Amino acid sequence: MPKIIGKSLHEHRQMTRHKLFTALSTLMAERGFDTITLADIATAAGVGRTAVYNHFSDKESLLLGFITHETEQYALTLERALAGVDDPVEQLRTYIRQQAQLARVFHLAPGPDLRTVLSRSTQARLREHAEIVESILKRILHDGIAVGSFPRQDIEPTVQLVNACLSGRLIPEEPPARERAISAAETFVLRAVGARPVLAA
């Protein structure tokens, strides 16, 4: 019987899942998802292959579990960042900057686009998770329109366009270049949704 890590079986399972997610994230930063095997993931995580199958039936279910975890954690972080912000324009600025900070390994991995190597059912599940974050942006835009911070507009395509702009950006690591890129994205998105200009004091 494999040695239990953690203080309980539940904690053991949580720690094992975390090790698998970390291993997958690391491997996807190095090469395409299509070239990674469950054996690779088990080795990188320092667990046996049986441990992987105890949690996930195949590679796609592991990816889905990883993205579910990352999305839920990001949504919590985003909600915390927005908690003390009342003005919709400032909420949108916060959303933009949080998106820029997000390291989406599953979007930026080398190799083919994930949409070309995943089954349709998995693609549909991934889409469901994207909607968790989209719902936050929809709320910001709805509230901004209601108080006149943004002009009336079709929110569904606006959300898609804003997220496409932000998720498609490769933000530089060097601080000056990074801040310049984030500021440019912020200015572009605010202009695109018709945010009212900030009046000078």
pLDDT tens for each residue of the chain, 201 residues long: 445 555 667 787 888 999 999 999 899 888 888 899 999 999 999 998 888 888 998 998 998 888 888 888 888 999 999 998 999 999 999 999 888 777 544 444 555 566 677 788 877 877 777 788 899 999 999 999 999 999 999 999 999 999 888 876 667 778 898 889 889 989 999 999 999 765 444
Closest CA to 158 of 186, 129, 188, 189: 189
- Identify residue 62 by its one-letter amino acid code: L
CA 132 to chain centre: 10
CB 20 within 8 A of CB 68: no
In degrees rounded to 5, what are phi and psi of residue 119?
-70, 160
- In whole angstroms, give the CA distance from residue 72 to residue 67: 8
Q: Would you state the pLDDT for residue 193?
A: 96
Q: Would you state the pLDDT for residue 112?
A: 58
In degrees rounded to 5, what are phi and psi of residue 13?
-65, -40
Q: Would you state the pLDDT for residue 113?
A: 64
Alpha helix (H) ranges present in 35-174? 38-45, 49-55, 59-82, 88-101, 105-108, 120-147, 155-167
